[in-house]
Structure 1
Amino acid sequence: MGKIHVHEFITLDGSYENPGFTMPYGFTDRMSEVVGGFTGACDGILLGRKMFEMFGPAWSERTVDDDPGAPFFNETTKYVVSGTLDEATGWQNSEVIGAYDPEKIEKLKNEHDLYITGSGTLVRALLHDKLIDELHLLVYPVVLGTGARLFDGLADLPLTLVETESFDNGVVHLSYSSTGEGVR
């Protein structure tokens, strides 16, 4: 049985919508190692339609020389949750699995370890349906006061803090389990 591993960049007030807030803080070598740990445990990527449409053009032409994460993002199968796309074109190894269906995603999860980044609408639905095993938040020391919030509309969401780590740039990594088990 696989797991769903979610990684999100968020602000102190929970905004995730426009990751431009991350730019002034850079991306440390240790942050790269931590994110590599999330992706290294996964054999599939689960994305919402908007994230797929943003990531596809950004990643499809990158090589390992451009970014060490390029092989993972390009070679790993991407499962796109969308009720509007018939096919996932423009980014190799991508397939549309249809509109959000928790049973279909749970079946996919039973077959794969899945990685999600961004895709806030999808992540909120998965949190609501208690399908996320590991929630990794990289919290940036900034309050925007605007933008979509990761936890909007969610209630009664027990999470277990498993690990914390502070980076030199002021960003904090918070690891949560929604299953009551430790993150591995």
Structure 2
Amino acid sequence: MGSIAVHEFVSLDGVFEDPSWTVDFGFDAEMGEDIGRITRASDAILLGRRTFEMFAPAWSTRTAEDDPGAPFFNGTTKAVVSSTLDDASAEATWANSRSLGGYDADRIRAFADEVPGGVYVSGSGSLVRALLADGLVDRLHLFVYPLVRGTGARLFPEGSPEARLRLRQYDAYANGVLHLVYTRA
């Protein structure tokens, strides 16, 4: 099975919703290199429907001149976990996209098996929580910002199932952001 790597921007209190607040911290060059390593190790993107619908208009018109990540996001096969989006709608929304239907761990395993390299996930909180619960996340990359948001959707809200993880790597960037890399315990 292709490995699944999750990348999330979170505040100290776990808020990941609408990470536009990260702009205040700038984009550290080393952080960009680390995110580039995560995407370069990936041959597919897996997203929940809401994140797909936010990413599609934001990325589909960007070029490499606008953002060095644009070729990855636009040229890579994207799979959307959604019970309301079909293949034709996914492809019409963003090139190289298809729907996997509603969440199904076996279907996601089959998709990952088709991918020669890794599968990249960003945002997609409900999807990430389900993937963790089913033991499908191989690497969880948390970019933790030195900020308490107080309100907003949390990556792991009250009532989330327990997930035991093992810290494998950590980095601290000049902008105060920590990069924590976890695997299953």
TM-score normalised by the chain length of structure 2 = 0.94
2:181 is the counterpart of 1:175? yes
Runs of 4+ with deviation above 3 angstroms: none
* Residue in 1 that maps onto 2:44: 44
* Residue in 2 that maps onto 1:137: 142
**% same residue:** 55
One-letter amino acid of the counterpart of residue 132, structure 1:
V
Structure 1 position 144, deviation (Å): 0.8
Q: Which moved more, 1:80-89 or 1:147-156?
A: 147-156
| C-alpha separation in 2, matches of 1:117 and 1:18 | 12
The answer for unaligned runs of 5 or more in structure 1 is: none
Partner SS state of residue 92, structure 1: coil
1:148 equivalent among 149, 153, 162? 153
| C-alpha separation in 2, matches of 1:26 and 1:143 | 17
Deviations 1:7-58 (A, max 9, x none): 0000000010120220100111111100001000010000011111111111
Partner SS state of residue 39, structure 1: helix
Deviations 1:141-173 (A, max 9, x none): 000111111112323311010000000000000
| C-alpha separation in 2, matches of 1:164 and 1:133 | 16
Partner SS state of residue 136, structure 1: strand
One-letter amino acid of the counterpart of residue 166, structure 1:
A
Give the paired residue count: 179
| C-alpha separation in 2, matches of 1:156 and 1:10 | 19
Provide the aligned C-alpha RMSD in A. Answer: 1.0
* Residue in 1 that maps onto 2:96: 93
* Residue in 1 that maps onto 2:165: 159
| C-alpha separation in 2, matches of 1:148 and 1:63 | 30
Tell me if structure 2 keeps the 8 A contact 1:128–1:154: no
Partner SS state of residue 147, structure 1: coil
Deviations 1:80-105 (A, max 9, x none): 11011123022110111101101100
Structure 1 position 116, deviation (Å): 0.4
| C-alpha separation in 2, matches of 1:61 and 1:82 | 23
- 1:50-65 superposed matches below 5 A: 50-65=50-65
| C-alpha separation in 2, matches of 1:23 and 1:61 | 20
